[in-house]
Amino acid sequence: MEICDYGCGEPASYTFKNGKKCCSKSHNSCPAFKKRRKQIPWNKGKIGVYSDKTIKKMSEVRKGSNGYWIGKKRDVETIRKISENHANVSGRKNPNWKGGYSKRNIPRYENFVNKLTIEEDPQPDQKDKEILTVVCTHCKQRFIPLLSAVQERVRALNGKQLGEQRLYCSKKCKQECSIFNKHTLQNGHPKLEQEWKNTEGYNIWRQEVLKRANYKCEYCGEKATIAHHIRPQKLEPFFSFDPDNGIACCSKCHYRYGHKTGTECSTGNLASRIC
């Protein structure tokens, strides 16, 4: 039996994304975590913790007059050390310095080589191996794209943005390209499901389901305008056009019964399924 990782000693029933196990759905509900949050300050109710001099300084700082640094100056050696510390944590002296490419809107090769497709043919630049180069969609010439353009292309490939956001080396190639600004979609894009519903096969299946029910909702008896899949099309693609896998319903019943939260056909459940 696994025990809660937050120290309450209760059996763990839930596992979080970070790998930790807990007795509750949220670590904020764990008794041990609640107890730590409600710890009493160390100086609460205590007397004589601070000296009179310290209390006077704290009071003056709160009032905004005669504060600790008012009228005082740091010596030259302290200023020099502070300046050196700032220099060591910014710019080229920082251990995390990556060359300053992002500030110049230049994409780095290692950040996008596994996110683009063979159509872009990502390769490192010959002069600087850190910089990403791709092939122009229209003229097929290799060039260095803008970081913002590559990020938009990756979002489109992941289905998080309409269109394809293809990469072009110039405005001229954009204007001459036959597919530029055509709003074509990548395979697997969520918008493709809507295009699927406009196909001839779907329209025939829909009319067959509605006709069988005499164009009446099979839930409430009102006029039916929607054919709903009993088994979701995402889960049963081979039965997408089977009339026995359809039910006629009105718009209200479609979402009240067909896509009710918590059911197999709910939007949240279908979105999390990997087929």
pLDDT digits (tens, 9 = 90+) for 173-198: 988 887 776 655 544 455 555 555 55
Amino acid at 82: I
Per-residue pLDDT tens over the stretch 163-176: 778 899 998 998 88
Q: How far, in Å, CA of 226 to CA of 210, rounded?
A: 8
Per-residue pLDDT tens over the stretch 34-51: 777 766 777 777 788 888
Q: Which residues of 14-26 are buried (b: 16+ CB within 10 A; e: fewer)?
A: eeeeeeeebbbee
Supply the pLDDT for residue 141: 93
Q: How far, in Å, CA of 216 to CA of 207, rounded?
A: 12
Evaluate if residue 97 carries a pLDDT over 80.
no
Q: Cβ distance 148 to 156 under 8 Å?
A: no
172 CB-near residues (< 8 Å, 6+ apart): none
Supply the pLDDT for residue 273: 47
- End-to-end alpha-carbon separation of the chain, Å? 33
> What percent of the chain is predicted at pLDDT more than 90?
16
Strand partners, 248: 227
* pLDDT top residue among 49 and 131: 131
The mean of the pLDDT values for the chain is 79
181 CB-near residues (< 8 Å, 6+ apart): 163, 174
Per-residue pLDDT tens over the stretch 133-151: 999 988 999 999 999 999 9
Q: What is the DSSP letter of 255?
A: I
